[in-house]
Structure 1
């Protein structure tokens, strides 16, 4: 498996010769207003878009419908490939894409097994307000777990324990509103993931949306202080 972070949660996953584009946010820098009720007012995305070869994409995976995971530019530019998603999102995505394939259990694509995994986009009432979100497990020659927009909680650890993935991708950044706890993985959550897996953890979802407050440097400082060594924090456009 080869992984390239495009930006934020947008990934290119090359698995056994098949390329998946995960959570395509393709808007140019500053194309959208800031997310409201947050501590900053920078326009989104806050970072430029590295190059993306859409012609080389074999399938798209959308973990949920928030605009920082599938935006209007992606809906306009992506065509002619399957789009895997959670069942709750299929109707919305069918308005933009011709071949939408909801995943509620296991599906096969190019000899790769794709499984939906549980995720929780925050804690308490805020998680309900954020709506449904799903992670995805890709089982080919290696196993890759894309946890999605989730905090650290029991089912994430259960997926790691049961499937023993070679790579775990976590959406970090501590996305947060003025009130309430982070709605994505905290730096403590990343350390917890690293503790329960024997694989490599790849931390993404930072420095591209105005309510993601934890930077790459801050995450690395926390992990170093905790003695965590199996976490990679790629730059936008970097291949790992």
Structure 2
């Protein structure tokens, strides 16, 4: 498989001969205002440019997976630029309706047994932060596991913190590759919305033989964990060889 970091949570996964675009945020740098209640209120989003043209990002894509409909995972630019007949996978019927309402015609809700072109796609659980009030505010999220006889097992965790649900997914699917959203993005009042360095360390301890790829870093105003800090922490904790921390535009063949 090939996994290419585009920007933020946007990645392109080439798996068993098919090309998936996950969580597309395709706007130009500075298109949207900063997220309210967060740090860096002087910084518009996205805070960095795409590493390549939008045409190159979406060229040859067979399907799009949107783990949830927050702006930094499926923005207005993606809604306008993606072909309206492209295969779209979403997490529930409510979001399927929203995606159809902006013009997409081929929308499917991910299940535990979804199959696309011979590839098994398994919807996984997640929690977009900690505490009942924050979880209610942030809403439902998901991840996805990819399985095919010709490939290693890939788990894209999505916008989740470390909690027992992630442990359960690791125990159930035993992935070889784990993509985590690892920028420790935060609301000032509520704390972390996605994984920070300690969460990622827990993922490593739970799946010590897996390779972790940390994305969703340094691209929207409310990140708090830098690539450099995560690299230093991973070295300190002894799992630097088990983690990849891609720059935007970086491609891994695994």
Aligned to 2:246: 234
Aligned to 1:48: 49
Instruction: Please give the per-residue CA displacement for 1:82-123, whole angstroms capped at 9, x wherever unaligned.
Output: 100101311111112111101132210011000100000001
Measure how far apart 1:199 and its partner are.
1.3
Measure how far apart 1:158 and its partner are.
1.3
Measure how far apart 1:53 and its partner are.
3.3
Q: Do structure 1's residue 163 and structure 2's residue 178 form an aligned pair? A: no
TM-score (norm 2): 0.92
Equivalent residue of 1:218, what SS? Answer: helix
Q: Do structure 1's residue 193 and structure 2's residue 200 form an aligned pair? A: no
Instruction: Please give the per-residue CA displacement for 1:32-61, whole angstroms capped at 9, x wherever unaligned.
Output: 111111121200000111223313100000
Q: CA RMSD in A?
A: 1.0
Q: Distance in 2 between matches of 1:28 and 1:66?
A: 17
Instruction: Please give the per-residue CA displacement for 1:14-34, whole angstroms capped at 9, x wherever unaligned.
Output: 001100000000001011111
Q: Do structure 1's residue 224 and structure 2's residue 235 form an aligned pair? A: yes
Return the match for 2:89 from 81, 84, 88. 84
Q: Distance in 1 between matches of 2:80 and 2:39?
A: 31
Q: Distance in 2 between matches of 1:134 and 1:163?
A: 15
Aligned to 1:118: 125
Q: Distance in 2 between matches of 1:178 and 1:81?
A: 38
Q: Distance in 2 between matches of 1:199 and 1:2?
A: 16
Q: Distance in 1 between matches of 2:8 and 2:128?
A: 16
Runs of 4+ in 1 over 6 A off after TM superposition: none
Instruction: Please give the per-residue CA displacement for 1:107-145, whole angstroms capped at 9, x wherever unaligned.
Output: 100110001000000011101210010011111222110
TM-score (norm 1): 0.97
Q: How many residues align?
A: 240
Aligned to 2:12: 12
Q: Distance in 2 between matches of 1:165 and 1:73?
A: 32
Q: Distance in 1 between matches of 2:162 and 2:155?
A: 14
Aligned to 2:163: 153
Decide whether the 8 Å contact of 1:19 with 1:58 is kept in 2: yes
Decide whether the 8 Å contact of 1:127 with 1:183 is kept in 2: no
Decide whether the 8 Å contact of 1:93 with 1:100 is kept in 2: yes
